[in-house]
Amino acid sequence: MRSFLLALGCALVVVAPASAGGWATAGLAPPEGISSGDTWNAIVTIKQHGTTPLAGVQPAVIITKGGETHRFAAEPTGTAGVYAAKVKFPSGGTWNYAVYDGFTQYGGAKLHTFAPVAVAGGTSDGGFSIPAWTWILVAAALALGAVFLLARRARPAHAPVAQP
């Protein structure tokens, strides 16, 4: 009986470390001031056990709104555990976003979710947008035209003819 308990204890000690390596954390700062159609250069950090940078995984940023889902693969940046994805929100509104960590060893790959983000509407959702500088030019042209008309009205229509 004693040898059975000893063997069982040894088996549990060996199994515990084998299953301890199967989780990762994913870090990602939310986009700020983003509009639909803009490119969000999402920097994803993947760490095993929250401390060791994970190289060699294939993470992705996933965005969802209603029944619409888009996946953007993240590529290595040259720094271990740091990946970059070019994310585009196709329309304005509230979008959910998440990171698939790509850490498939030990069956531990999972989806890390973050708080939803508000995306402003932009030109890519069919809207029409005119840059602010265009409005400034239009206002300046109108002001110049008004000055010209006022100056023309202020001068006499016919110059008096000099009498000899």
pLDDT tens string 122-162: 644 344 456 677 778 888 888 887 787 777 777 666 666 66
Q: What is the pLDDT of residue 129?
A: 54
- Between CA 132 and CA 51 the distance in angstroms is 46
> Which of the given ranges, 59-73, 100-114, 144-158, has the highest pLDDT on average?
59-73
Strands 24-28 and 39-48: antiparallel
109 contacts: CB under 8 Å, gap ≥ 6: 100, 101, 102, 103
pLDDT digits (tens, 9 = 90+) for 24-61: 899 999 899 999 999 999 999 999 989 999 999 999 99
Q: What is the pLDDT of residue 127?
A: 46
The verdict on pTM exceeding 0.85 is no
For residue 153, give both structure tokens: 């009205």
For residue 29, give the amino acid letter.
A
With cut-offs at 50, 70 and 90, classify the pLDDT of residue 80.
very high
Picking from 121, 131, 114, 115, the residue whose alpha carbon sits closest to that of residue 38 is: 121
Mean pLDDT of 84-113: 92
| CATH entry, 22-125, from 3.40.50.720, 3.50.50.60, 2.40.30.20, 2.60.40.10 | 2.60.40.10
- Between CA 6 and CA 65 the distance in angstroms is 54
